[in-house]
Amino acid sequence: MKHLELKGQLRKVGNKATIKAFRAQGLVPCNLYGQGIENILFTVDAKDLKALTHTPNAYIVDLNIDGKVYQCVAHELQWHPIDDICLHADFLAVNDKKPIVINIPLKLQGHPVGVQAGGKFTQLQRSLKVSGLLNNLPDTLDVDITPLGLDKRLTAGELKFDGVTVLTEKNTIICRVKATRAMQQAAAEAAKAK
């Protein structure tokens, strides 16, 4: 899986005014926890954090806090309700011995037979939540959608990948091919003509 380096600076527990001052300087307050380490409070530059938050890719983050590097994943992000600004980020420390849970982007391949027959293709999910060991995690989850016929759908429960377990609910629809209104109308007219 791809790695992304992020630099942070240690910070102390602060009140609302302190946190507001960090944000005014273009810094995002963050927290690192998990894997037997004590909570570490730090800040990262908001521009640097966008490399992680404004991409469809999934990353293992190499977090460099004042010279010490931790491997982690973005666990929870809090956003401003109106502006596209990350207000707070939680990171979860990981290692290659315990499975981790992460969202990995889907990469759909092929041209569905249902679309070739005139149907309309819709993709409803862009990523899946999976669990796996750090070394087994792929950059993308490749899915062949060529066999998808007219009025058929593909659900998370139908997908299997080597080395990872899909945690997204089994009945979550990934994509589907539906007959268009024109096709349905033509079929209805053909049935009346018989």
Write down the pLDDT at residue 190: 74
Task: Give the least confident one: 66-70, 92-96, 181-185.
Answer: 181-185
Write down the pLDDT at residue 38: 87
**Domains delineated in the chain:** 3-95 (2.40.240.10), 101-193 (2.170.120.20)
Minimal CA–CA distance to 94: which of 59, 134, 132, 138?
134
Write down the pLDDT at residue 185: 75
Q: What is the DSSP string of 26-39?
A: TEEEEEEEETTEEE
Whether 6 has a pLDDT exceeding 90, the answer reads yes
Query: CA 40, CA 70: separation in Å to the nearest integer?
Result: 11
pTM as predicted? 0.79
Write down the pLDDT at residue 50: 92
Whether 155 has a pLDDT exceeding 80, the answer reads yes
pLDDT band at 4 (very low <50, low <70, confident <90, very high): very high
The torsion of the CA quartet 150, 155, 160, 163, rounded to 10 degrees, works out to 140
Query: CA 166, CA 130: separation in Å to the nearest integer?
Result: 4
